[in-house]
Chain A
Amino acid sequence: MNRIVIGRYIPGNSFLYRMDPRTKLIAMILLMVSVFLIQSFIHMLVALLLVALLLVFGGISVKRVYLGLRPLVFLLIFTFLFQVLFNRQGDLLYSLELHYTVLNLSIAMALVIMWGFTKRFLRFRLLYFLATVAGVFLLFHYLPFGIVLGEGTFSVYEQGLSTAFFIMVRLVIIITLSTILTITTKPTDLNLGLESILRPLRILRINAEEIAMIIAISLRYIPTLLDEANKIMLAQASRGVDFQEGKLKDKVIQVVSLLVPMFIISFQRSDDLANAMETRSFVPGQKRTRLHILHWSGLDTTALAFTCAALIGVILLRVVGW
């Protein structure tokens, strides 16, 4: 149950840790917007370099960021392939004639089946998957023997490649930035910062403090609920429910046998918690003093000035049309 390690706070003491959570939140949003406005290849590479520098000087291990990216690697590769394969705008950069024949189709099918069977035994599944895809294309090109069923071309266009590049780099930068934020900021501080930033929403009758309280309580109870799920699973397992294997029907029974008690216990819990909060003089919407307060320092002003400069720079570049 301790698999949720992505983006968990890791104590440290670089300048990123000393920044006010509000600064980090606003800076992150500004930088994300900037990244979306960048249109030139070179500028994008510069942005990537700057983010890398941020990691180095912020004392954040690249491995942590990679862990944050890993669940999305497949998505990244998929979007990349999708763009490269189907975007047909701009100049033609490369093309490969493909001949679909009975022979190479059968071999391709065999390859895919083999991939399906053997992938679970290998460590570098993603590379293996890519190699298989590449292998299938090569087959279609280099084995044009036998009865021909159809013809096609695999072509890469300039636009496809550049769109793919931009999407990839933007996603990587965005995820890296948000990982930096969550690694260097305690959940309580992050919440406090969020509350402070959302406070102007009062004019829309949205109570930032309540939202923050809801987030804080959810944060507080997630580990407790995971613990509970664990206990229930153990209890159910001792009654013969198998949580590891099983057909769809068994899976449904497993999920139900976990969810029903979880719900009942959670309702009891929330009832008790509401009672405890109410009797400790909590009245929703009423003014409270706060134990935690945020400190704005020169570092924050500097950091915010830099990010604003970056955003303005990007906008100017775009207007000038470089």
Chain B
Amino acid sequence: MNMIDIENLSFTYGGKVEALKNVSLCVKKGEWVTILGHNGSGKSTLAKLIVGLLKPQKGTIRVDGVELSERTVHDIRKKVGIVFQNPDNQFVGVTVRDDIAFGLENLRIPREEMIERIEHYAKRVDMYSYLNKEPQALSGGQKQRVAIAGILAMRTEVIIFDEATSMLDPDGRKRILSYMRKLRDDGVTVVTITHDMREAVQSDRIVVLKDGEILKADKSEDVLKDKETLEKSNLELLLPLEVLHGLEHKKSTNEEIKEFLWQLSLNG
């Protein structure tokens, strides 16, 4: 059963910038899919189309079997949550508690249940002791965790992360990756959007976008090892895979390997 079904989707900004060209893709229920692509490849455009912030000019989007349209968009938003890149620009409430409550208030969850959910999900992202804090008192990573708690509390069936870790330090990133893993274990469908290979590793499937087109969509392992495709879309192999790749093609001496690794680290 497919959770998200996209067929022949095209989107052009202002009649000029072709952000997406004839994209077809599906995400199964409970699957974790990564959408990988360089800056400007159309990843955010795709995400905004799925949650109905933009209207497709061509093609269809189906969520849980329901076609996205003006009439169904509100119901679909109850099924699909999205966490955006900039933690500061999605903090709606005056305090952490208010912010987590925002979505629940909109869903008309009764107050007692709301309080329960807020506490439960604040604990889940380790922000329980910050419930009364104002956003100015939080770091970027903490604000992003609050945003995630706000979406988790809405108990949507799909959660999209649009570069949700790109403004965070390695520690913040690792934490959020661990939440993603937990979500997958809980059966939530996860779509992560990133250009960071390390974020793509743990997902089930990777879709590579380049200039608005799908270059490759396959099991994560296969995509991660595909140097040719990745290079075509300005992405880099993971460092260990790069090493592996480099070593596979020559029988080298210790000295040569050292030199190779040295060059590799110099090139970042």
Pick the contact of B101: A272, A278, A291 (CB < 8 A).
A291
B108 touches A288 (CB 8 A): yes
Q: State whether the Cβ of A275 lies closer than 8 Å to any Cβ in chain B.
A: yes
Q: Which residues of A approach B to under 8 Å, CB–CB? A: 187-188, 216-217, 219-220, 223-224, 227, 268-269, 272-273, 275-283, 286-293
What chain B residues lie within 8 Å of A268 (beta carbons)? 89
The binding surface of chain A is classed by DSSP as helix
Interface residues on B, range: 35 or more
A289 touches B105 (CB 8 A): yes
- Contacts A288-B106, A288-B108, A289-B109 known; A279 to B82 CB distance under 8 Å? yes
Closest to A213 in B: B92
B94 touches A276 (CB 8 A): no
Closest to A223 in B: B136
State which of B17-25, B73-81, B243-251 sits at the interface with chain A.
Answer: B73-81
A281 touches B77 (CB 8 A): yes
Q: State whether the Cβ of B202 lies closer than 8 Å to any Cβ in chain A.
A: no
A269 touches B53 (CB 8 A): no
* Besides A280-B154, A281-B107, 8 other A-B contacts (C-beta < 8 A): A188-B94, A216-B93, A272-B84, A276-B147, A280-B77, A288-B105, A289-B105, A291-B101
B92 touches A277 (CB 8 A): yes
CA distance A116 to B199 in the complex (A): 66
What chain B residues lie within 8 Å of A216 (beta carbons)? 93-94
Q: State whether the Cβ of B9 lies closer than 8 Å to any Cβ in chain A.
A: no
CA distance A275 to B50 in the complex (A): 13
Closest to B136 in A: A223
CA distance A279 to B150 in the complex (A): 11
B53 touches A220 (CB 8 A): no
- Report which residue of A223, A283, A288, A290 has the largest number of chain B beta carbons within 10 angstroms of its beta carbon: A288
CA distance A293 to B114 in the complex (A): 13
Q: Which residues of B approach A to under 8 Å, CB–CB? A: 48, 51, 53, 74, 77-78, 80-82, 84, 86, 88-95, 97-98, 101-111, 114-115, 118, 134-136, 147, 150-151, 154
CA distance A272 to B110 in the complex (A): 28
CA distance A279 to B115 in the complex (A): 21
What chain A residues lie within 8 Å of B77 (beta carbons)? 278-281
Pick the contact of A273: B92, B98, B106, B109 (CB < 8 A).
B92
Pick the contact of A276: B92, B115, B118 (CB < 8 A).
B92
A219 touches B94 (CB 8 A): yes
A289 touches B110 (CB 8 A): yes
B84 touches A275 (CB 8 A): yes
What chain A residues lie within 8 Å of B53 (beta carbons)? 275, 278-279
B135 touches A220 (CB 8 A): yes
CA distance A219 to B98 in the complex (A): 13
